Structure 1
Amino acid sequence: MAELLARTSSAELTEWRAFERIDGPLGPGRGDYHAALVAATVSNSIRALGGKRGTKRVTDFLLEWDQRRGPKTPHELLREVSSINAALGGTHSGTTS
């Protein structure tokens, strides 16, 4: 970060920030958005073929990188996976402890 600040003026950083606000994120954030767009498209296509109503939005598949909350417990992760599985029409055949 220090090298970036030493080589780039405040005005240029402001221009890049404005560019991102208009044209979307640069770097890996843009790839995350593209992957979420594909996931939403596939999910909605599968739901439509199965006759299910409701659509998933791109934001439903975007990764959340804010780690201030701390890691999720195994039970929280299982709840999230079960919810996604049910939303996609899946069933659960195993047992959990």
Structure 2
Amino acid sequence: MRQLLAETGSAELAEWRAYEQITGPLGGARGDIQAALIASVIAAVNRGKGQRAPEVSEFMPRWDRTQTRKTPEELFRLAMAANSSLGGRVNTTPA
């Protein structure tokens, strides 16, 4: 993470975030969704007569066990705190 923050500007990170919003999650999160989809289909075709088909979300691993969702502003503050704690600096010059 330290190397990523040292070598990647905020503009590029913002571009990757926008790309992910358009194309879907990158990395492990995408694999979790794909695995959950397959598991839900297998469960659906093997369910008993009259039973409801399971939702994909029922098969998604929950990595973040916090009870509340964070706002974009809170996430930004956390990212800036992590950046600062790792010795990073904020690049405010346009790309």
RMSD over aligned CA atoms reads 1.5
Percent pairwise identity: 48
Instruction: State the Cα deviation string for residues 21-75 of structure 1 (Å, max 9, x = none).
Output: 121111111111110000000011111xx31331111111000002558xxxxxx
Q: Normalised by the size of structure 1, how large is the TM-score? A: 0.62
1:33 maps to amino acid: I
Q: Normalised by the size of structure 2, how large is the TM-score? A: 0.63
Matched positions, count: 67
Kindly indicate whether structure 1 or structure 2 has the higher relative contact order, using CA contacts under 8 Å at least 6 residues apart: 2
Counterpart position of 2:39? 39
1:2 maps to amino acid: R
2:11 maps to amino acid: A
Counterpart position of 1:73? none
Counterpart position of 1:89? none
Gaps in structure 1 of 5+ consecutive residues: 70-97
- Describe how 1:13-28 pairs up with structure 2 within 5 A: 13-28=13-28
Task: State the secondary structure of the residue aligned to 1:26.
Answer: coil
How far residue 7 of structure 1 moved from its aligned partner, in angstroms, is 1.1
